[in-house]
Amino acid sequence: MLDQLTPSRLSPYRVFSAREWAKFRADTPLTLSEGEVRRLRSLGDPVDLEEVSRIYLSMSRLLYAHVEASQLLFRQRQTFLSGGAAGPKTPFIIGIAGSVAVGKSTTARILTELLGRWTTSPRVALVTTDGFLYPNAVLEAEGLMQRKGFPESYDVSAILRFLSDVKAGARHVQAPVYSHIVYDVVHGQRVTIDRPDILVFEGLNVLQVRDMPKDGKAVPFVSDFFDYSIYIDADEDDIRRWYIERFMKLRETAFRDERAFFHRYSKISDEEALAIAERLWTTINARNLHENILPTRPRADLILRKGRDHLVDQVALRKI
């Protein structure tokens, strides 16, 4: 994966080392504490205040520039279309994609906190695609439980309706909620999104595209609603190791909850658990990475590439 981020004359990206990228922070203030970072990071993710300063503050500054430019363009377009009459504001939507265990959730949560602490105090919401998975009962009926996380396991129509409503400035738009304990969509539970200034939308396949129709009819993609997109990248061997390490740690934590879908894995030997983790990676997650997730990487505006230590060592920024 690294060689594909190597700068070249024909590349649509400018590539920076983490040290080079950190300089773009300029005077962006650090508004998070070490305790808050610990609360925001996922199990096994070593991100700390130094990593926030090194990588995320420059990202925050870059996104601030994009949000400001987007709002100016929106106001100018409103004037063009309506002679200055005000319409509902259009949220700036940031999509975050990448493999399981690569650190999407940590990135999404930290960015959400940083963006909400700009001096302009924007309202920032975070939604993940997990809630838009079909319920386990549907996946089982359709023979898709072993394809959970693949594009066909999501209610893409519901995702498109949700993003369309949010982008249109609709009030009180609801999204379903997913529980990682019971490994299923929570029946009847919703989160309400009410005209945020910024929406962070995170998931495995949010940059996925579909075959184009030969009759020229419009086929909306989830990413059509994004104003900016980020892909979290790493070597596959490292992602595999992080996935297995996280699985083994979960046996000592979340899996011990008797309500947990994977509670049975807390009662088997380490050797058995390791074999199961390897099988789950090989048969499900590695296949999803190769078939669906990794091919979407070149569609991102920003690529964060992590090293073996799970920290970002390279940043690729799409040229304008």
Phi first, then psi, for residue 308 (nearest 5°) are -60, -25
Tokens read off for 22 = 């950190």
Tens digit of each residue's pLDDT (9 = 90 or more) over 179-211: 999 999 999 999 999 999 999 999 999 999 877
Which residues touch 161 (CB under 8 Å, ≥6 apart)?
none
| pLDDT tens per residue, range 16-72 | 999 999 999 999 999 999 999 999 999 999 999 999 999 999 999 999 999 999 988
Please give the domain boundaries of the chain with CATH numbers for all domains.
9-206+217-318 (3.40.50.300)
Report pTM: 0.94
- Mind spelling out the 3-state secondary structure of 230-287? EEEEECHHHHHHHHHHHHHHHCCCHHHCCCCCCHHHHHCCHHHHHHHHHHHHHHHHHH
